[in-house]
Amino acid sequence: MYQKMYQILIRLLSFLLVITLAIFKSKDNLVLENLALRQQLSAYHTKKKKPRLANIDRLFWVALKQVWGKWRDHLVIVKPETVIDWQRKRFKKHWANISSQNKRPGRKRIKREIRDLIYQMAAENNWGAPRIYSELLTLGFHDVSEVTVSRYLRTFRSKHPDTRKQQSWKTFLTNHRDTICAMDFFVVPTVNFSLLYVFFIIDHSRRKIVHFNTTTSPTAQWVIQQLRDAFPFDSASEYLIFDRGPAFSPRVKGFISQKLGIKPKQISYRSPWQNGVAERWVLSARSDVLNRVIILNENHLYRLLKEYVAYYNDDRCHLSLDRDSPSGRTVQIKPSDAEKVMSLPRLGGLQHRYEWRNAA
């Protein structure tokens, strides 16, 4: 143990020495390149076989990424994707520690006999919690509350959804596709573990992002202002789908129906598939860009999403749109046999668009 502490101390002193020397040099890129290579060589020297990076090494690369744009060019034992993954793991560990503090044991589970009766009554009669609770009381089960019945009933319905309701909702989505928009929030963590909320509205007919914005504190008043910005001058759709998040309060629903003239459609409890178009865009945004970048602050997130929304609407092809983009892309004809395809980078090179160099 003392040997490990000694090695860590030596490496820390080496880092401090290199950083001190770097302060007095003029060529910043050369200094940072030497710092990166020295750090990796130090990790090599501490292990005889394949080096295993410690937490201090991971913190070094996460911090270096924030201050040096060319950090990728000088990686030897670390991949760029690994550095991004380290930041995500730090975020998960941070919130796991917070969630585990001051936790008390939950309530005891009810008897299996009562649990099976709740599930049986729900399956055979499609009753709600008050009706099932009343029936349990008549059977002499007084050690269970209606709230507990409701909780187990939600669990049962999440695993055994009503197929008739599913069919009717899918039919509604299919028949009104051209007149539906959907809105939703999703959360993005920053480098210092603070949470940012992304609000967006997507059009079902062309899968086009109509409006988006970011905030640190989503409120009903803030959502109402976003709806005003998204649907000016009687440009609103006929229906607007949203989930049961706390920001979509009755006040927001009243504004949607009374001021905008839109029919609000709130999805069922624990039924994210009913807002599947919005959920799918969240997956696209995360896989295309957000999972590959460490977000610094709200301004950084907004600029990044602004560029991604432009790429998504204008460039990105979709299977549901017959492999076209939401805004529409013209099919290009090869100008001549000598022409070559030109790669147009988007989002700093994370995504690309391809065109003939001299297409008409």
Task: State the DSSP string of 234-278.
Answer: S---SEEEE---TTS-HHHHHHHHHTS--EEEEPPTT-GGGGHHH
The residues near 40 (Cβ < 8 Å, ≥ 6 apart) are: 75, 76, 77, 78
pLDDT digits (tens, 9 = 90+) for 20-59: 655 655 566 666 777 777 777 666 656 556 666 777 777 7
The whole-angstrom separation of Cα 187 and Cα 245 is 12
pTM, rounded to two decimals = 0.67
Cα-based distances in Å from 175 to 180, 182, 183, 324: 10, 15, 19, 21
Task: Give the residue from 78, 56, 62 showing the smallest Cα distance to 8.
Answer: 56
Which range is least confidently modeled, 67-76, 151-160, 264-273, 335-344?
67-76
Tell me which residue has tokens 């529409």: 328
Element containing residue 21 per DSSP (H, E): helix 2-23
Amino acid identity of residue 196, one-letter, is: L
Cα angle 24, 28, 31; round to 5? 75
Torsion angles phi and psi, residue 188, rounded to 5: -130, 125
Topology of domain 169-314 in CATH is: Nucleotidyltransferase; domain 5 (3.30.420)
The whole-angstrom separation of Cα 66 and Cα 255 is 42
pLDDT digits (tens, 9 = 90+) for 157-214: 878 776 666 678 888 888 889 999 999 999 999 999 999 999 999 999 999 999 999 9
